[in-house]
């Protein structure tokens, strides 16, 4: 008699690792770089100054954006929206907050 691996448990473990990675400095920086690159590509050089900053205070993580010209805001918003569905849920929450800030300002 052998033991079978519970596929449901494996899926839960995989999902937990993904959520955890989404809050690591490495995981967040990976998506920051992707979104910045997308913003530059979407706006064909009009968003070269886009910079997303990551601020960690205690256990709280915030994203902010440094934008030099008006066009960069729209480029960054489009880049975030394009990539949201591919991000881990934890990373997505950070970028959704940044997107809300961009839409309000």
Residue 97's pLDDT is: 96
Q: Which position has the higher pLDDT, 81 or 2?
A: 81
DSSP state of 84: G
Summarize pLDDT for 29-71 with one digit per residue, the tens.
999 999 999 999 988 877 778 899 999 888 888 999 998 888 8
Question: pTM for the whole thing?
Answer: 0.81
For 44, phi then psi, to 5°, come to: 45, 55
- The answer to whether residues 27 and 54 touch, using CB atoms and an 8 Å cutoff, is no
| Higher pLDDT among residues 20 and 42, named by residue | 42
């Amino acid at each position: 008699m052998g033991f079978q691996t519970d596929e449901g448990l494996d899926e839960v473990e995989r999902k937990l690792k993904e959520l955890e990675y989404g809050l690591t400095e490495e995981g967040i920086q990976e998506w920051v770089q992707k979104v910045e690159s997308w913003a530059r590509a979407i706006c064909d050089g009009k968003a070269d100054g886009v910079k997303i900053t990551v601020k960690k205070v205690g256990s709280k993580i915030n994203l902010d954006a440094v934008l030099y010209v008006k066009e960069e805001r729209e480029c960054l918003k489009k880049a975030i929206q394009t990539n949201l569905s591919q991000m881990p849920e934890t990373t997505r929450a950070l970028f959704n907050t940044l997107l809300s800030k961009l839409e309000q300002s």
